[in-house]
């Protein structure tokens, strides 16, 4: 209880704006604060940090691209925490967002994000290793079958008169 009071007081004491006000600050570098309800992983490994139950109606989101996860850590541990994120506020599909690409953008209770597990594959979530690449297979070469009705060299019909 006391910890919650301290965190909420710290959020109001900082220069952060609430997620509902983030849209008014598009184009500015700002601090936005809110409680993370869930972290959703998109089809290409992009992580979306959601602050609302309905992601599509939420006025603000934080986006983490797969290439940045190794520097930031396991953002799935942000669920349930009140975070402060600093960065340029951008507008994408009618919603304000901040792209998280450095752990230093996070302050408050979110600074202790553990690193990603070594076997965590961003795109396939453990089904395939992203570190091993194989060259593409060339299509099998189809050999033509010889024409059995064709005549070759000495196999010509001997009954014909030789050309003059």
In CATH, what number is assigned to the domain containing residue 36? 2.40.50.140
Domain count, the chain: 1
pLDDT of 11 above 60: no
Q: Is the dihedral of CA 111, 112, 117, 120 positive or negative?
A: negative
pLDDT at 104: 86
pLDDT at 112: 64
- Over range 40-58, report the average pLDDT: 87
Per-residue pLDDT band for 135 (boundaries 50, 70, 90) equals low
Which residues constitute the domain of residue 68?
A: 2-108
Strands (E), the chain: 17-18, 29-35, 38-41, 47-50, 60-64, 82-88, 90-92, 95-99, 106-108
- Assess if residue 16 is contained within a domain: yes
- Assess if residue 91 is contained within a domain: yes
pLDDT of 126 above 60: no
pLDDT of 3 above 50: no
- Assess if residue 101 is contained within a domain: yes
Task: Please give the Cα distance from 39 to 46 (Å, whole number).
Answer: 10
Question: What is the pTM (predicted TM-score) of this model?
Answer: 0.60
- Assess if residue 157 is contained within a domain: no
- Assess if residue 146 is contained within a domain: no
């Amino acid at each position: 209880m006391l910890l919650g009071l301290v965190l909420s007081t710290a959020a109001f004491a900082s220069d952060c704006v609430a997620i509902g006000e983030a849209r008014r600050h598009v184009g500015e570098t700002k601090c936005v604060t809110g409680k993370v309800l869930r972290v959703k992983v998109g089809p290409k490994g992009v992580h979306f940090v959601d602050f609302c139950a309905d992601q599509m109606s939420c006025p603000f989101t934080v986006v983490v691209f797969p290439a940045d996860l190794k520097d930031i850590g396991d953002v799935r541990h942000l669920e349930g925490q009140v975070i402060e994120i600093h960065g340029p506020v951008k507008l994408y599909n009618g919603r304000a967002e901040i792209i998280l690409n450095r752990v230093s953008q996070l302050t408050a209770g979110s600074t202790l994000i553990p690193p990603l597990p070594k076997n965590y594959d961003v795109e396939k979530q453990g089904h395939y290793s992203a570190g091993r690449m194989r060259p593409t297979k060339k299509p099998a070469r189809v050999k033509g079958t010889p024409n059995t009705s064709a005549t070759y060299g000495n196999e010509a019909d001997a009954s014909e008169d030789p050309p003059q």
